[in-house]
Chains A and B, each alone.
Chain A
Amino acid sequence: MTLEPERYELREAPAYDFPLDRREFFKTLGGGLLIVALISPSDAQESGRRGGAGGLGAPKEIAAWIHVGEDGVITANTGKVEVGQNIRTSLSQAVAEELRIPVSSVRLVMGDTALTPYDMGTFGSLTTPQMAPQIHKASAAARQALIALAAKQWSADPATLTASDGRVIAPGGRSIGYGELTKGRKLVETVDGAGIAAPKDWKVCGQSIPKVDGRAFVTGAHQYVSDLHPAGMLFGKVLRPAGYGGKLASFDGSKAAAMPGVKVVRDGDFAGVTAPSQEAAERALEALKAEWKVDPQPSDRELFGYLKENASESRPSTLEGAVDQALAEAPVKLRRTYEIAYIAHTPLEPRAAVAEWSDGKLTAWIGTQRPFGVRSELAEAFHLPEDRIRVIMPDTGSGYGGKHTGEAAIEAARLAREAGQPVKVVWTRAEEFTWAYARPAGVIEIASGATKEGAIVAWDFHNYNSGAAGIDSLYTIPNQRVQFHPTKSPLRQGSYRALASTANHFARESHIDELAHEVGLDPLEFRLKNLSNPRLRAVFEAAANKFSWNKRKPTAGHGFGIAGGFEKAGYIAMAVEIAIERGQVRVVRVVSAFDCGAVVNPVHLNSQVEGAVVMGLGGALFEALKFENGRVTNASLSEYQVPRFSDTPELETVLIDRKDQPSVGAGECPIVGLAPAIANAIYSATGQRLRSMPLVPNGLPKVVSQR
């Protein structure tokens, strides 16, 4: 028998001693068949896995496991979490596909540090390209093992047996249920990766399976973290500083402490209260007297200058040809600056956590995209070994890259330790706007050169602060310098759906449009002329076709724009129609063409694309955090508007189902093309080139038409 890399890893890795864990596994799972999918060493390196064992003391090399119980119940365990991207459904489809069972009979255990394998976190659109194949592998191996068991029992040739609907079936019609096959056994196998269904043969994957537990959501039965209420639970509130980095200069909690049932905690710059009711906790918080020392900080009006002035040393990530010479000699030259404001994720469920201590062990329920990361944060904050901490993540009210951290869990745990009872902390909307992290703001400078015929010959691209995601272009340009300049950020900043790719695409695809107009070419034609990547060309052509880009001209007051790009291994192009109505920009229609490999669930993919477009509308048109002296000054939903029904254009999506390509994640890529497509459409309608995101926070700026 040949040794597959995974199996080799299992036998050889010195840190790995699976038989010891086996009892642990089965103690929780009951008897049956357990199939473990291991991460290949290269994957492990890529995803930067380090330290931190998974649940049940399982080693970190485990990606996922599938358990076929004696009762026939099939459970898949993964450290990934559900935040509305519907991976609970798509991963269940993977199990069902390979094990030949209905989707409804799959139980998926997700994101619980005591029950699931270690996982870095649910971000970067990695579930579909990395976790789904592991689940496929483990499930396929489980099916093979079940067939082998049946073959042995019947003394039959396994090749003659098939699996269907939870049973192994022999040619004559004789059959046996999966559960019966595993009865009285404790079998453990690692996957050998053979026999995974190819996308072209998919029966369950590739189908629009509705959200697996949808009923719990439409009836209000699903319990989000903010809905939990363990016995004896208290409500916690945390005193917030007067500004970022505030130091608690003086504190008097005596008035609050005198209130019935209230406990006051002060520990360094942390202060908070617990009380038996939410209202009592709010009143106690108000009764705290504190003075904060806050250093002066820049405001949003000084933002872009500040980012450039504080840039630190860096080096180009791409340097090809002779950029300066090519820029100097190009017959058509353009130099432009683009700006991107800070925006807030505004997940509809604000950060929330419940923490409970018992016998020096801490359990925290929190809505986070990184349960194992939060466990590390808690270990650090409380100087505890990780095996004394359990982090549980119930399916959460969205994240969009905004819930990578565990602030609420740390706060609840600190308060709970004092109170000696479980404590829940739910951030208010204002806290969410002020104390969560923002999508980075940025300044992007581009200098470019082209020939009169429309070939781009020089490209000099500098991004200050936004980040490096999506900074490289797929255009074929002989002379290029691309550089990210880290700098100081006035606001706390972090991950966001598609990261900096939105900013970089906004600048790049706006600039490409400007260049097209400089050389007098149609923006689509200009792009295709400078693009050789077949998949990106294909989405541009698909979007343009569906939109009838070349067949129609915008009517008066309307404009067309196109833009596209590449992110997280997916390709997106968008054609957009906008209308100017009483000085306001209305997005009328968005046609997206998207290629993310083989499509796993068309309806949910559609939802992800539409969701990304709707979310993108806010950042493109009007969302921006305002701030001054370390405080956000528009920290409410009435002042910080997010897209609503009335903002939603007609949305059409062309899904390019590439059965010949691996499936990749879809939550992020579609957001990147929207802002530049809208900016380009505004130019087409008005002759005004807007280079700052959000484009029209107060309607169309009153400028004399440049056209």
Chain B
Amino acid sequence: MAFEILVNGASHRVETDPETSLLSVLRNQLGLTGSKYGCGEGQCGACAVLIDGRAVRSCITPVKHAAGRHVTTIEGLARNGKLHPVQQGFLDADALQCGYCTPGMVMSAVALLAKDPHPTDAAIRRGMEGNVCRCGTYPRIVAAVRMASKGAAR
């Protein structure tokens, strides 16, 4: 089947089974490999992207659910070379070790801050609970999101 999806502002036509995961379409058909496979079962958040501004786990989202909607991936966050405040926060807080969880963390944080622009640390931890960092960078990730929320307020 053919689907029209809007990814990072550009429209794409993809020819695939409607049950194919959005993650696979992004990575293998559109070459957007920033979203990662970590578990394929909705448990780690490495594949998080935004659909109409809401964070979803693209590994368990069939592509048909994204048809005709706005998908934002990590590649679409920076504007004209300027990093999104959350991306900048991750750099400033040095909130990455191997970096494999980072795109999913950033996307989840963007969605979190859209709902709650000034979260407490406890709210950040709660909001990010579905994302795993095996390198154990959690304290710095909380700091990164906190910095991003402050930066956005300026």
Contact = CB atoms under 8 A, between A and B. Distances in A.
Contacts of A235: 28
Nearest to A638: B43
A399 to B, nearest CB: 8
A516 interface: no
A398 B134 contact: yes
Interface in A68-85: 83-85
Q: Which of B20, B35, B43, B46 has the most CB of A within 10 A?
A: B43
Q: Which of A349, A428, A603 has the most CB of B within 10 A?
A: A349
A400 B87 CA distance: 26
Contacts of A428: 40
B98 A220 contact: no
A101 interface: no
Contacts of B149: none
A580 to B, nearest CB: 20
A604 B134 contact: no
Interface stretch (A126-134, A173-181, A207-215): A207-215
A295 B137 CA distance: 42
Interface stretch (A111-119, A567-575, A605-613): A605-613
Q: Which of B33, B90, B99 has the most CB of A within 10 A?
A: B99
Nearest to B100: A397
A611 B37 CA distance: 21
Given A218-B96, A220-B35, A397-B98, A637 B135 contact: no
Contacts of A217: 96, 99, 102
B106 to A, nearest CB: 6
B133 A229 contact: no
A347 to B, nearest CB: 6
A530 interface: no
Nearest to B84: A218
Contacts of B36: 224, 226, 348-349, 397
Contacts of A277: 28
Contact of B98 (A83, A637, A645): A83
B74 interface: yes
B40 A645 contact: no
A277 B16 CA distance: 10
A519 to B, nearest CB: 36
Nearest to B130: A644
Contacts of B75: 219-221
A554 to B, nearest CB: 23
Given A397-B98, A429-B41, A348 B133 contact: yes
B140 A637 contact: no
Interface string A331-354: 000000000000000111110000
Given A223-B33, A278-B28, A644 B91 contact: no
Interface residues on B, range: 35 or more
A348 to B, nearest CB: 5
Contact of A607 (B39, B94, B124): B94
Given A83-B98, A215-B91, A348-B98, A279 B24 contact: yes
A37 interface: no
Contacts of A429: 38-41
B94 A645 contact: no
A349 B98 CA distance: 9
B34 A84 contact: no
B58 interface: no
Contacts of B133: 348, 614
A693 to B, nearest CB: 18
Interface string A267-310: 00000000001110000000000000000000000000000000
Nearest to B97: A84
B77 interface: yes
A626 interface: no
A219 B94 contact: no
A611 B142 contact: no
A642 interface: yes
A426 B83 contact: no
Q: Which of A429, A645, A651 has the most CB of B within 10 A?
A: A645
A607 B137 contact: yes
Given A218-B91, A219-B78, A279-B24, A426 B99 contact: no
A220 B140 CA distance: 19
A215 B83 contact: yes
A267 to B, nearest CB: 27
Given A220-B75, A638-B43, A214 B94 contact: yes
Contacts of A610: 136-140
A646 interface: yes
Given A348-B135, A637-B44, A645-B128, 20 more contacts: A84-B99, A214-B90, A218-B87, A218-B91, A219-B74, A219-B77, A224-B100, A279-B17, A347-B134, A348-B98, A350-B37, A397-B98, A398-B97, A428-B40, A610-B140, A614-B138, A636-B43, A637-B41, A638-B43, A645-B142
16 contacts: A218-B90, A219-B83, A219-B87, A220-B73, A223-B33, A347-B134, A348-B46, A396-B98, A397-B36, A611-B136, A615-B134, A637-B41, A645-B124, A645-B129, A645-B131, A646-B129
Interface of A: 83-86, 208, 210-211, 214-215, 217-224, 226-227, 229, 235, 277-279, 346-350, 395-398, 400, 426, 428-429, 603-604, 607-608, 610-615, 636-638, 642-646, 648, 651
